[in-house]
Amino acid sequence: MLVFTGGHHTSALEVAKSLQKQGYFIIWFGHRHSMWGDQANSAEYLEVTSQGVPFYDLQAGKFYHTFHPLKLLRLPWGFIQAFYWLAKIHPKGIVSFGGYLAVPTVICGWLLGIPSITHEQTPVFGWANSLIALFVKKIALTWPQSLSHYPKSKAVLTGLPIRPEILKIAKNKLSTSHLALRTIYITGGKQGSHILNQTVFDSRDRLLSDYKIIHQTGSHSHVSDFETAASIRHSSYSYFDYDSQKAVQALRSADVVVSRAGAHTTYELGLLGKRCVLIPLPYTSNDEQIANAKILESANLAVILPQEQLQSDSLISAIESAMKLNPVKLNLPKDGLERLVQLIKQELA
């Protein structure tokens, strides 16, 4: 039995599914709701439970950029929950994918004598992984730039576990140059981005005069972006809240992707050689999304548009600039899944 936890469930779920096929029983510590006060089930909860994995809603809090007193109260509560559950089920090991949920899980596991490994998705070291690095057996890394941030005795370069659907795109790339309208895939990640969505809505007439738009809005219950998207009636506009298969198809057909600069997104865009406009999420730990975006910018794959500059004119200008990029191929490992699974079996078996 293994416990999985952390902030990057797309990578983690591929690893969990692989281990399930090899006879491992997986339990998941995660967030049932993506944001404070949101009543919608998170993409993490929906995708994990669809694989038959038991899901424990860990109501941990984070210290970084958190000032709400009720949110801060979740800090000790997360440790109490994690300690109780781990003591009760006592798994063979813990597999962490960073983020603040991993902190109480890994530290409580260490107190109970349960070994852990963690995976770092970004080129910089996040505060969560820099802390739990003290308590884990091994730290699997996505980027070689990360090797200098962690102890040599623990750091292992594995690359990022990639969904098979993405690898199929990389192998059989689809040309859309024959289409009358170029395709723009706009996504704010699984949760969606309200500020990006609003800019798209404000720009829709200008965008739809030149491009086919595929828009992933997210489905946060406190905003009505999905409903606004549903009200747009245009043959060149399609939308969805979040669906992994629709996201893969949109990524496959896109000439340019407009997105945040999350770890998994940037790795997949680099692997596929997709031109993109990246709008890094501000205030991330150690500006990790900016670091992610700069890797693709250096390969002439990305135009970086800071959020504070995001408006209709700047978005359209960035898309036009991205269309003209002449990318340099990034040679990224495609076997990160196999490498990480082997490391888990080696260290936690």
Looking up residue 312, the CATH number of its domain turns out to be 3.40.50.2000
- Residue 66 domain flag: yes
- Residue 232 domain flag: yes
Residues 46 and 142 in one domain: yes
For 79, list phi and psi in degrees, rounded to 5.
-65, -40
pLDDT at 10: 82
Residues 215 and 258 in one domain: yes
Give how far the C-alpha of residue 348 lies from the chain's centroid of Cα atoms, to the nearest Å: 25
Strand ranges inside 35-83, DSSP E: 55-57
pLDDT at 73: 56
Inter-residue contact 134 to 106 (CB < 8 Å) = no
Inter-residue contact 97 to 7 (CB < 8 Å) = yes
Strand ranges inside 80-230, DSSP E: 93-97, 116-120, 138-141, 155-157, 182-187, 211-216
Residues 228 and 143 in one domain: no
Q: Can you name the residues that pair with 141 across neighbouring β-strands? A: 120, 157
Domain count across the chain: 2
Residues 126 and 148 in one domain: yes
Residue carrying structure tokens 């004119």? 313
Token readout for 39 is: 């009543």
pTM for the model stands at 0.84
Angstrom distance (rounded) from CA 86 to CA 210: 54
Rounded alpha-carbon distances, angstroms, from residue 84 to 57, 61, 154, 162: 13, 17, 28, 33
Residues 99 and 46 in one domain: yes
Token readout for 125 is: 């070291």
- Residue 328 domain flag: no
pLDDT at 175: 52
Angstrom distance (rounded) from CA 197 to CA 190: 13
Rounded alpha-carbon distances, angstroms, from residue 274 to 84, 182, 328: 45, 13, 11
Residues 240 and 312 in one domain: yes
Residues 151 and 205 in one domain: no
Q: How far apart are the first and last CA of the chain?
A: 10
pLDDT at 35: 58
Residues 193 and 83 in one domain: no
- Residue 196 domain flag: yes
- Residue 329 domain flag: no
Residues 9 and 130 in one domain: yes
Of 142, 86, 146, the closest CA to residue 116 belongs to 86
pLDDT at 62: 57
Angstrom distance (rounded) from CA 210 to CA 5: 43
Q: Can you name the residues that pair with 240 across neighbouring β-strands? A: 216
For 310, list phi and psi in degrees, rounded to 5.
-75, 120
- Residue 60 domain flag: yes
Residues 124 and 249 in one domain: no
Residues 139 and 231 in one domain: no
- What is the DSSP code (8-state) at residue 13? H
Residues 233 and 143 in one domain: no
Q: One digit per residue, pLDDT tens: the chain, 349 residues? A: 999 997 778 889 999 999 999 999 999 998 887 655 556 777 788 889 999 999 999 887 555 555 555 555 556 878 999 999 999 999 999 999 988 889 999 999 999 999 999 999 888 777 788 889 899 999 999 988 888 888 889 999 999 999 888 988 876 665 555 566 899 999 988 778 999 999 999 999 999 999 999 999 987 767 789 999 999 999 999 999 888 889 999 999 999 999 999 888 999 999 999 999 999 988 776 788 999 999 999 999 999 999 999 999 999 999 999 999 998 878 888 899 999 999 999 999 7
- Residue 198 domain flag: yes
Q: Which domain holds residue 255?
A: 166-323
